[in-house]
Structure 1
Amino acid sequence: MVATQPIGVFDSGYGGLTVLKSIVQQLSQYDYIYLGDNARTPYGTRSFETVYDYTLECVQHLFNKGCRLVILACNTASAKALRNIQQLDLPTLAPDRRVLGVIRPTTEVIGTYSKTGHIGILATRGTVTSESYVVEIEKFFPDLKVYQEACPMWVPLVENGEHNGPGADYFVQKHLDRLLQQSPEIDTLLLACTHYPLLLPKIRQFAPENLTILSQGDIVAKSLQDYLHRHPEIDAQCSKGRTLHFYTTDSAEEFEQKAGLFWGKPVRAERLTL
């Protein structure tokens, strides 16, 4: 009997489900495990050291469950932990495993969407402070002008189910206005937090009609498909049984109640004790 070697998808909470949803839509043949560190969310306000420690711990749990490839479907974890895990930990802890993030795939293509060369980034405070998008975009599109705005209330609005209500209007308009005031030439917005796609109707309501608004799910899914094509040795290690398992570090019942908002339908989850 061949052991299951699923693709692991990690997030600090629920938001990574929007990325996993896009991945499964494009690459449905694989087995997947999703792990949300709901007991310690949010990551966006925590230090680099804490995010790194938490992320590494969760990645190791996914390795223990057979994952050969793990996607950090969390912008904060990708910004604050991915590089150290790739460069310092994998060579000694798990040289045959791979960990990928969501920032690099996005920054590799974002410049192709803009005609003015002015990009706006909407993200958590942790992602903005890390400057990860600014640094990575510079590598691929050095002529792009990048403007950032931290939106600390957006994640709580989504997780409390207020993202479609009138209470969200003030905070969405406030941060959009702040970002667009930095440059009238911004023509492309990146939602650099996996919660933010649920606010897309509100964002479109207050954004100029000519603005291109990008969510990361489809971009990351296409990048993963390309990665597996370019690395057949990794693809061969990923089992293809079309299974999905959901884990949370907090209450499974609470996870199931809220996860459906991001996943689009009910899920069954198990609690993972760290």
Structure 2
Amino acid sequence: MDTKATYPIGMFDSGVGGLTVLKALRQRMPCEDVIYLGDTARLPYGTKSPQTVTRYGVQCSAELVKRDIKLLVVACNTASAMALTAIREAYPDVPVIGVVEPGARAACAVTKNQTIAVLATESTIAGGAYQRAIHHLVPTARTMGHPCSLFVALAEEGWIDGAVPEAVAARYLDPVFNPASGSVDPVIPDTLVLGCTHFPLLAPAIRTVTPPSVTIVDSAATTAETVFDELTRLGLTRSGTGCGKTAYLTTDDVPRFARTGTRFLGTPITENEIELVDL
């Protein structure tokens, strides 16, 4: 086995949302060690300019690359949409996988009427990365991008069910799934992409607004599968039966990262497991 196979996978997000990707990665590859960086001092990325997001993404990548990772996962939709090329150019010897292309693939695989709605942050929607990825796979597909930045704050605060998130979901999505009578645009998407790693926590609230026939796509599982395929192709999967270790890094507020991260990951994260880093 290549010695490099024992190196960890690096992963970063603007905060704790990417822990939904880590959770899927753990389920698919339980033997792998992972270093997760949450750039909580500078979140959210979704309302910042492409130049700023790119700078942040390259800085986060640098922190992980110096820790001898074998592959980098950009577990942030905004950074995947805006900074992936710059990160790959900065670190050409490290395989880099984002979450946009796997999410687009999953959506294209399940849509029947080729009409796909994408929920994401302002920057991700404005950048058009999901639209381009979907159209590359299915040129005839129709995409509808809808910025839902308030979902990020709700997820961070733990307001993921009840009247408030359901009302916000209705405000964002009623025009999409319950158009006014006589609408000139009556085609209803049959597939909904959660284009932000925070959004899976709000899936139950989102589901209250969407027709039962709509398929909700979370890119986390597809991203994990993509990582597995790439490591397999490179001969860098880690063998064994033991559980891999996870190291947590954050740029601000360790107690909050532990508290909020536990909710996203679904298993406890203690403060003494988290390293505070300065980027």
Is 2:220 the partner of 1:223? Answer: no
- 1:209 is aligned with what amino acid? P
- 2:103 is aligned with what amino acid? T
Alignment match, 2:275: 270
Residue by residue over 1:116-171, the C-alpha shift from the partner in whole angstroms, topping out at 9 and shown as x without a partner, is 11111011111000000111111111111111110021100111111213111221
Is 2:135 the partner of 1:135? Answer: no
Residue by residue over 1:197-227, the C-alpha shift from the partner in whole angstroms, topping out at 9 and shown as x without a partner, is 1001111112111111111111111111122
Residue by residue over 1:240-270, the C-alpha shift from the partner in whole angstroms, topping out at 9 and shown as x without a partner, is 8711111100021121011111011211322
For 1:70 and 1:82, how far apart are their aligned partners in 2? Answer: 11
Is 2:220 the partner of 1:206? Answer: no
TM normalised by structure 1 equals 0.92
Asked whether the equivalents of residues 119 and 196 of structure 2 are also in contact (C-alpha less than 8 Å), the reply is: yes
Is 2:104 the partner of 1:101? Answer: no
The aligned runs of 1:1-274 (5 Å cut-off) are 5-86=7-88, 88-90=89-91, 95-180=92-177, 181=179, 183-232=186-235, 234-235=236-237, 242-268=244-270, 269-274=274-279
Asked whether the equivalents of residues 6 and 33 of structure 1 are also in contact (C-alpha less than 8 Å), the reply is: yes
Asked whether the equivalents of residues 23 and 265 of structure 2 are also in contact (C-alpha less than 8 Å), the reply is: yes
Q: CA deviation at 1:29?
A: 0.9
Asked whether the equivalents of residues 115 and 191 of structure 2 are also in contact (C-alpha less than 8 Å), the reply is: yes
Residue by residue over 1:51-95, the C-alpha shift from the partner in whole angstroms, topping out at 9 and shown as x without a partner, is 011110110100111212110000000001001222x322xxxx3
Asked whether the equivalents of residues 262 and 269 of structure 2 are also in contact (C-alpha less than 8 Å), the reply is: yes
For 1:212 and 1:97, how far apart are their aligned partners in 2? Answer: 34
Q: Report SS of the residue matched to 2:16.
A: coil
For 1:249 and 1:33, how far apart are their aligned partners in 2? Answer: 14
- 1:190 is aligned with what amino acid? V
Residue by residue over 1:175-205, the C-alpha shift from the partner in whole angstroms, topping out at 9 and shown as x without a partner, is 1113334653310101011011100111111
Where in structure 1 are there 5+ consecutive unaligned residues? none
Asked whether the equivalents of residues 148 and 179 of structure 1 are also in contact (C-alpha less than 8 Å), the reply is: no
Asked whether the equivalents of residues 111 and 141 of structure 1 are also in contact (C-alpha less than 8 Å), the reply is: yes
- 1:211 is aligned with what amino acid? V
For 1:262 and 1:190, how far apart are their aligned partners in 2? Answer: 18
For 1:65 and 1:225, how far apart are their aligned partners in 2? Answer: 20
Residues 124 and 97 of structure 1: CA distance in aligned 2, closer, same or farther (over 3 Å):
same
For 1:235 and 1:263, how far apart are their aligned partners in 2? Answer: 23
- 2:56 is aligned with what amino acid? Y
Asked whether the equivalents of residues 123 and 151 of structure 1 are also in contact (C-alpha less than 8 Å), the reply is: yes
Matched length: 265
Q: CA deviation at 1:108?
A: 2.7
Where in structure 2 are there 5+ consecutive unaligned residues? 180-184
Asked whether the equivalents of residues 78 and 102 of structure 1 are also in contact (C-alpha less than 8 Å), the reply is: yes
Q: Report SS of the residue matched to 2:208.
A: helix
C-alpha root-mean-square deviation of aligned residues, in Å?
1.8
TM normalised by structure 2 equals 0.90
Asked whether the equivalents of residues 119 and 146 of structure 1 are also in contact (C-alpha less than 8 Å), the reply is: yes
Asked whether the equivalents of residues 198 and 262 of structure 1 are also in contact (C-alpha less than 8 Å), the reply is: yes
